[in-house]
Amino acid sequence: MLWLSEVLMQHHDLASFEELEKVIKEKARSGETFFSMDVRPPFPDTPESWETRLEAAFYTAN
């Protein structure tokens, strides 16, 4: 299970929501099968639809 909070802690150098989306896609491609969004991304450019966008990035990465 991939937790968003873990991704954010492991990649504390991320500066934008777009960068986060790329990391989520990479994680999905590396074999993660489930994704849980337990925190809101702390970036100024995080859109209102952040949950939908991250879910789409994860489940359509392949």
Torsion angle of alpha carbons 28, 29, 33, 38, nearest 10°?
Answer: -10
Q: How far is CA 58 from CA 27, 31, 36, in A?
A: 8, 11, 10
Amino acid 35: pLDDT:
97
Location of structure tokens 């990465």: 61
Amino acid 38: pLDDT:
97
Tens-digit pLDDT profile for residues 5-61: 999 999 999 999 999 999 999 999 999 999 999 999 999 999 999 999 999 999 998
Amino acid 45: pLDDT:
98
Helix (H, G, I), strand (E, B) or coil at 36: strand
**pLDDT surpasses 90 at 62:** no
